[in-house]
Amino acid sequence: MTRIIFLGAPGAGKGTQAQTLAEHWKIPHISTGDILRSAIKEQTALGVKAKSFVDSGQLVPSELVQDMVEERLQKADTSSGWILDGFPRTVDQATFLDNLLKKMNLGGALVINLDVPDDVVVGRLLERGRKDDTEEVIRRRLEIYRSETTPLIDYYGERKQLVVINGNQSAEEVTSNLKDLTVSC
Ligand code: AMP
């Protein structure tokens, strides 16, 4: 079974790499941002609650995202594993995920930190042009990433689950580094 968690700032290339690897390994790419954006588009109860947070670059309340992840990880297509992209984003979410995996009798995941300097991610996000990619919202997302999500680097480092990959290379080079890594683990 392959269970991978992608960490990395917004714009680090998590989504692209997670999608490529998921196709390669034939396991689902589970992006909490994608699930939230489609819930917002379809105006589901979750989407209506999440919209203002996503639009302004703030974290959606953890209970909502945690319920969503718990439900998603129980679907049949996860039997060979999964790649999580965008979750966990806080230490509380990581603790929730640890407990959930225990409850499901699954071991921990391999955590990949895609490391990219700040000035590079801002440039990439401005080029991407998603609705929540305005300069002000980007700045807020980066601040929240620094304060809420970077503590996960220590959290998973202490648990010996963490691998750091240089994300400041071409997408092809990053993919090749990731494939080497997953083959050897
Ligand atoms: P992303 O596509 O991962 O950049 O996520 C886009 C937005 O979805 C974020 O700015 C948050 O508003 C929300 N979001 C995604 N994942 C989470 C999460 N794990 N916890 C809270 N909010 C999240």
Domain limits of the chain? 2-26+80-183
Question: Taking Cα atoms as reference points, which of 89, 78, 72 lies closest to residue 38?
Answer: 72
What would the CATH number be for the domain defined by 2-26+80-183? 3.40.50.300
Summarised one tens digit per residue, pLDDT across range 27-51 is: 999 999 999 999 999 999 999 999 9
Is any ligand 1 atom within 6 A of the Cβ of residue 97? no
pTM exceeds 0.85: yes
pLDDT beyond 60 at 103: yes
> Chain-wide mean pLDDT for the chain?
94
Question: Taking Cα atoms as reference points, which of 141, 163, 81 lies closest to residue 133?
Answer: 141
Distance 185 CA to ligand 1 centre (A): 28
Ligand 1, residue 36: give the atom nearest the CA: 8
122 near 132, Cβ under 8 Å?
no
Is any ligand 1 atom within 6 A of the Cβ of residue 54? yes
Distance 184 CA to ligand 1 centre (A): 30
157 near 94, Cβ under 8 Å?
no
